[in-house]
Amino acid sequence: MSTENEGAAVPSEAKPPTGPQPDSASASGAQTPGAPPAPGARPAAPPPPDFAPTVARAPGGFDEPGPMPPAYGAGHPRQPGYGHPGDDSATEQTSQFPTYSAAGPGAGAGGWGQQPPYGGGGDPWGTTGTPAPKRRNGGLIAAVLVAALVAGGVGGGIGFWAAGQNDGASTTVSASGDPGALNRKPTSVSGIAQKALPSVVTIEAQGATGDGGTGTGFIYDKQGHILTNNHVVASAANGGKLTATFSNGKKYDAEVVGNAQGYDVAVIKLKNASGAPLNPLPLGKSSNVQVGDATIAIGAPFGLSGTVTTGIISAKDRPVASSDGGGTSASYMSALQTDASINPGNSGGPLMDAGGNVIGINSAIQSAGNGGGLGGESQQSGSIGLGFAIPIDQARRVAQDLIRTGKPVYPQIGVQVGMRDTGNGATIAKSGNNGSDAVTPNGPADKAGLKPGDTITKLDDTVVDSGPTLISEIWQHKPGDEVTLTYKRAGKEHTTQVTLGQRTGDK
């Protein structure tokens, strides 16, 4: 079933591709055997792996099953070979997403376990198979063992050297200690982290069939509501099990209050909040964010709860499209881009400004692709400095609707547009899905004079280069808002005023 949204139908179901995936290059870790190095010679560096950027959204676990298309931005056509919502025809509104590495939940499926950026979820919010906990733990243990062996070797060498020295010849210097240096300011990264960590939870979701994963969320209000990504909790939305663990180690059962697949936003609530530290994080204004502003991200990358990373706002208004944790629908956002390190498991966690205010919900990453791990195990790719967050202005509005009615409300103009064409605008299809009208009769676009075949090139002052860009821009507004659309018809440019309509619920 097609979804008639802000000018584009959201696929009701995205199936993973079955054939070869030319757009996702595999990372090769194999090396050609060679003669052993001469004594004292440094070993030759292994050949670099093939590099193929994929987008991954933070899954409900290390990865959520599901694909995500790669990210693209306004004015920058999508890369050939990447999967995007819809097929090549202007009338086809459904699409398949390529497998991607997740930036979502730290362990398990769903959630910035399988997902890409916009495309989105490499989910870039896409999704990929979530590594099994055993293998993941094994990889972590292996890494710890390697570190321990290296440290042990160094320590042994120092001990042997020191045994042959005169104890009286030590030249070590002890720090005098400055008590004032340890009194960190509340506005420092450390001060903000210490205040925010008790309000950030690690979410574990498990579906009725056993699928699920790990993600992040944060306290939204004193009633016990927690804000997170839809793809983090999607597996537990219908009869599954959901828990939230605080930084003090206390775990509480929770339930899904409402979830919006299109926005990739969900609200959950603690079932018994007695004794829980319900201190809501302050919500800032993403509309005031500027490129270059400092950012702080908190989450549970690969299950490592309470991880804090820092960076800056690298860009604003990045059109990002991705599949959800189950790979069954598309979500769109006009995202905040940050270089703060974000990995699978960070999904749903807060992106904060230098004042400790939440400006976004971490949701997806662009990944360089999967590579071989220790012991030959395949590992999920991690952050390469391209993370994407849902602006808090939009997330707050969606959360309020979910808490009030349990259902999301989407603004729309009432047209279906092609989802593959990029660079020249969003073209209204000649005919809609399943014989429906490409322009909804008596809908907002119809009343404004738009017709099948028109190409929308701008929404207000924002350049529209594709269908997903148009959707992500429209979804920043609310029903009833009036916007100016610029479009081309028969080579001539026109403008018209459109009052946004609405659709309630996900299709």
> Which residues carry out catalysis?
231, 264, 347
How far apart are the C-alpha atoms of 60 and 108, rounded to whole Å? Answer: 6
- Tokens describing residue 195: 């205040």
- Which among 309, 284, 283, 313 has a CA at the least distance from the CA of 296? 309
- Tokens describing residue 177: 């200690």
How far apart are the C-alpha atoms of 421 and 427, rounded to whole Å? Answer: 8
CA atoms within 13 Å, Cβ hemisphere of 315: 14
Q: State how far the alpha carbon of 348 is from the alpha carbons of 24, 47, 219, 232, in Å.
A: 26, 36, 11, 7
How far apart are the C-alpha atoms of 350 and 90, rounded to whole Å? Answer: 37
Q: Which helix (H) or strand (E) holds 181?
A: none
Going by the DSSP 8-state scheme, the letter that residue 17 receives in this structure is: P
Q: State how far the alpha carbon of 310 is from the alpha carbons of 293, 339, 402, in Å.
A: 11, 8, 30
How far apart are the C-alpha atoms of 451 and 85, rounded to whole Å? Answer: 22
Residues 6+ apart with CB under 8 A from 269: 223, 224, 225, 226, 254, 255, 257
Q: Are strands 455-459 and 462-463 parallel, antiparallel or unpaired?
A: antiparallel
Residues 6+ apart with CB under 8 A from 89: 418, 420
Q: In terms of DSSP H, where are the helices of 61-206?
A: 133-163, 189-196
The β-bridge partners of 379 are 371
- Tokens describing residue 295: 């950012």
- Tokens describing residue 304: 């490592």
| Long-range pairs of 447-450 with CB within 8 A, sequence gap ≥ 24 | 447/498, 447/499, 448/413, 448/485, 448/496, 448/497, 448/498, 449/496, 450/413, 450/415, 450/485, 450/487, 450/496, 450/498
